[in-house]
A and B are shown apart, each in its own frame.
Chain A
């Protein structure tokens, strides 16, 4: 079965699962820090892994509005545990970044910019929804006229191993958003996990070179059909759907709906939805001064449109009620985002539903808004 040809870009090969460790090792040899899903404190996080043994093998997740559980599955796969609260955003757009330090120098100030030192990351197990989210954040942080240095520095060096998602959770709706469960583009390697092999589609020259000399076979018609069927089945198994036909108009035409007030009574304004959302990109800059007043440093931290300080201007908060803040969030995500960036701001990952302690479900809210409008 061994094949010594270097697989071509766009081709799909099959490897025995343990061979994937060789690819991980080669990535490490090339200076990459491997980041993947792993189990920590009995839940799912993204963090550094050394090899496949640290992946959540044999786990799946149970998700519904306001609840997440990592549980043992009856079948054993490496990539069936759907992502938890964390997303790849925390590596490309970290929650806390030192920007610069000012030091008093005579009558002036000396500026020292913080170094953009970040490792080269290899993301293992990026799902279609998450890849779509990364592409949305690319639009925001790497605009042709201006690129955020921290994001660009990290993003340009990322190696992406994406995964066709075969076990969607109860709060997933990427199929509705047209983003998944099949990965479309933007990867170095795209993986589909069958019971006995990994199928790998080659997406970049770098990925090609990493596969040099490894043991593989060309994916058979049977394997490809099995993969296709599994992806189609996953698309049918989405726990949620969202009718996007009349978005963003539906939201933008109903800004005065009484429904917002009703959501405002349930919404905690805690900001959890925005923090777990893989596309939310708002941040604040916080200054910290030394006691002697001679140095001050500025840090960028994640912010949220649910925070009272977010829309506080001279004279007061322009969004003083919880319902006005929820409306801002949803009407941006599924409304004005389109005009601003050309796509909706939601990829259908379902995190905002799962991680809302008040069990607010945007797919239900949109459905309710639509019903009211009829």
Chain B
């Protein structure tokens, strides 16, 4: 490890701040973290700002306004490594539901004076605007994975982010499959691990917040889930959730909707 402490900047775009809070929630590790890295910019934690360039930029949130489109380009140009933090940054997040509707209509329902707003028609992941070196999924992210990424960057190695399905984590912790055992719709087989299978361990199905498991088969899973739907359209809604704008989930939900239309 070099003696230079890498400078880290944490930036926020359209998001709920929960992923930044996951960093601040690392109560046992924060002191070690502060001695390993130089936190140069992190408004959620401190008003003190150091000017860029930065070694590592951690970016939370999706791009939803013209101003954000410009700002992410600036951040990219002053950062050696850019990490997209959380499912807003990697797939647009829950606000990307607007991508499947008319954003102007939605704004007129929510705001008294939508004309004051300057927003884009879509909420999009960071990678649609600038090149991203590493994506860390989750709503919110798992703080242990954040630490793993920082440790890996400090040591110039690839972070160990499991590329397998949530099912592996259910089995590791002894959780019995809610899909097979209870008939509860669960996206676990098509979702990337990392959360520790929190939802199935608490008796509910996975809603896919860690994004698509890249070697998974969401198309086949959608067939399984459609057979146990508790109300019509449940499967499409499940895929079109937190990670709904992620390409493979989007494609799966679109295919279900197209089939339903055809059947009608």
Q: Which residue of B lies closest to A265 (CB)?
A: B220
Contacts of B260 in A (CB 8 A): none
Alpha-carbon distance A306/B188, docked complex (angstroms): 15
For residues 268 through 287 of chain A, which have their beta carbon under 8 Å from a beta carbon of chain B? 268-272, 275-276, 286-287
Contact partner of A85 (CB less than 8 A), chosen from B32, B168, B176, B183, is: B176
Pair A286/B188 contact, Cβ less than 8 Å? no
Q: Interface SS of chain A: helix, strand, loop or mixed? A: loop
Of B29, B168, B203, most A-chain CB atoms within 10 Å: B168
Pair A96/B163 contact, Cβ less than 8 Å? no
Whether A335 sits at the interface, judged by CB under 8 Å, is no
Contact partner of B216 (CB less than 8 A), chosen from A265, A270, A304, A354, is: A270
Whether B224 sits at the interface, judged by CB under 8 Å, is yes
Whether B57 sits at the interface, judged by CB under 8 Å, is no
Nearest CB of A to B103, in Å: 34
Q: Which residue of B lies closest to A67 (CB)?
A: B180
Alpha-carbon distance A327/B167, docked complex (angstroms): 20
For residues 92 through 142 of chain B, which have their beta carbon under 8 Å from a beta carbon of chain A? none
Nearest CB of A to B195, in Å: 15
Whether A57 sits at the interface, judged by CB under 8 Å, is no
Alpha-carbon distance A86/B151, docked complex (angstroms): 35
Interface residue stretch chosen among A26-34, A119-127, A355-363: A355-363
In which size bucket is the chain B interface? 35 or more
Pair B217/A269 contact, Cβ less than 8 Å? yes
Whether A302 sits at the interface, judged by CB under 8 Å, is yes
Nearest CB of A to B159, in Å: 10
Contacts of A288 in B (CB 8 A): 148, 160
Contacts of A44 in B (CB 8 A): 176
Whether A95 sits at the interface, judged by CB under 8 Å, is yes
Pair B168/A358 contact, Cβ less than 8 Å? no
Alpha-carbon distance A354/B181, docked complex (angstroms): 9
Q: Which residue of B lies closest to A96 (CB)?
A: B172
Pair B177/A291 contact, Cβ less than 8 Å? no
Q: Interface SS of chain B: helix, strand, loop or mixed? A: helix
> With A290-B32, A291-B29 in contact, do A272 and B177 touch (Cβ < 8 Å)?
yes
> With A271-B167, A357-B180 in contact, do A292 and B32 touch (Cβ < 8 Å)?
yes
Contact partner of A271 (CB less than 8 A), chosen from B33, B168, B181, is: B168
Pair A293/B1 contact, Cβ less than 8 Å? yes
Pair A45/B176 contact, Cβ less than 8 Å? yes
Alpha-carbon distance A44/B182, docked complex (angstroms): 12
Pair B180/A267 contact, Cβ less than 8 Å? no
Pair A271/B164 contact, Cβ less than 8 Å? yes
Contact partner of B221 (CB less than 8 A), chosen from A84, A265, A354, A357, is: A357
Pair A293/B154 contact, Cβ less than 8 Å? yes
Q: Which residues of B pack against A, CB within 8 Å?
A: 1, 29, 32-33, 35-36, 147-148, 150-151, 154-155, 160, 162-165, 167-168, 171-174, 176-177, 179-183, 186, 188-190, 203, 213-217, 219-221, 223-224
User: Can you spell out 9 A-B residue pairs with CB atoms less than 8 angstroms apart?
Assistant: A41-B176, A67-B183, A268-B217, A272-B177, A291-B147, A306-B164, A307-B168, A308-B215, A354-B180
A66-B224, A269-B217 given; 18 more Cβ-contact pairs under 8 Å = A45-B174, A84-B176, A85-B176, A85-B181, A268-B217, A270-B165, A270-B167, A270-B190, A271-B167, A271-B171, A291-B33, A291-B154, A293-B151, A308-B214, A322-B215, A358-B220, A358-B223, A359-B224
